[in-house]
């Protein structure tokens, strides 16, 4: 599986990024993958390679490149629950500094870069994200309805911008929520807002999961939750990007 470390030009400098893609020569549909707050690390590279193995060019940018290249903070090999608060204390200033204006400016740069790579075919792209990356994926899809055909968010605050933010979504959507993140009542409220906005979506709580369940380098990891994520994500991409 070919991989690359890349530099994406943005209005605020160069964003380092990781890309994985099939080794068959032909151009493939593009997928922009937003990492969780812990950023690009072995588990994200592995997930990108896994997705690329299904026939996609997957681009994973360093969300916090303004603060330095990956890794922006030192991470243990395994993120145990007892060390998470100290890590989040380091990350929260970076997350808070990543304003909506910066998110949209970066999204413009990431999509322009992705769609001009020689390995990427013409046509729409997909955006997927984990944790805070799920919210960034939603913002990207809303800002680029003509380009983004599919958007998926997993254990992320995907409804944080409120119902009005959903009006710009024309992509097909899947949300996989952690059981610890969303009550059934809150899920109902989110899904009613998606209905009101006319979004084509699936949105469900993954049973028995906690926040971060897709990430195998954390105590939150749930193998069944990760598999359910692939079982939802791959058909979404297949039906929206098949002709790209």
Helix (H, G, I), strand (E, B) or coil at 244: coil
Report pLDDT for 127: 98
pLDDT grade, residue 168 (50/70/90)?
confident
pLDDT tens digits, residue range 59-85? 999 999 999 999 999 999 999 999 999
Distances from the Cα of 163 to the Cαs of 44, 140, 158, 193, in angstroms?
A: 30, 16, 11, 6
pLDDT tens digits, residue range 94-140? 999 999 999 999 999 999 999 999 999 999 999 999 999 999 999 99
Report pLDDT for 25: 79
- What are the φ and ψ backbone dihedral angles of 95, each rounded to 5 degrees? -65, -45
| Neighbouring residues of 197: CB distance < 8 A, sequence distance ≥ 6 | 163, 166, 167, 169
Indicate whether 244 pLDDT > 70. no
- The predicted model gives 150-155 an average pLDDT of 98
Indicate whether 21 pLDDT > 90. yes
Domains of the chain: 3-241 (3.40.50.1820)
pLDDT tens digits, residue range 173-202? 999 999 999 999 999 999 999 999 999 999
Report pLDDT for 23: 87
* Gap between the Cα atoms of 21 and 7, Å rounded: 16
């Amino acid at each position: 599986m070919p991989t690359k470390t890349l530099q994406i030009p943005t209005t605020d400098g160069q964003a380092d990024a990781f890309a994985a893609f099939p080794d068959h020569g032909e151009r493939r549909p593009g997928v922009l993958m937003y990492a969780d707050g812990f950023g690009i690390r072995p588990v994200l590279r592995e997930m990108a390679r896994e997705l690329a193995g299904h026939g996609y060019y997957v681009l994973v940018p360093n969300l916090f490149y303004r603060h330095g290249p990956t890794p922006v903070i030192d991470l243990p090999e395994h993120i145990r629950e007892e060390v998470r608060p100290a890590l989040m204390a380091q990350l929260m200033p970076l997350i808070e500094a990543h304003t909506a204006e910066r998110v949209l400016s970066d999204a413009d740069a990431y999509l322009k870069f992705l769609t001009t790579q020689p390995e990427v075919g013409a046509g729409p792209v997909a955006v997927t994200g984990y944790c805070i990356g799920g919210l960034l994926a939603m913002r990207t899809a809303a800002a680029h309805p003509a380009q983004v055909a599919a958007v998926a968010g997993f254990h992320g605050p995907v409804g944080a911008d409120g119902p009005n933010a959903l009006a710009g979504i024309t992509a097909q959507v899947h949300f996989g929520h952690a059981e610890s993140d969303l009550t059934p009542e809150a899920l109902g409220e989110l899904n009613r807002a998606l209905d009101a906005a006319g979004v084509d979506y699936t949105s469900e709580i993954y049973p028995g999961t906690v926040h971060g369940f897709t990430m195998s380098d954390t105590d939150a990891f749930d193998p069944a939750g990760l598999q359910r994520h692939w079982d939802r994500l791959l058909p979404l991409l297949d039906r929206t990007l098949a002709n790209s």
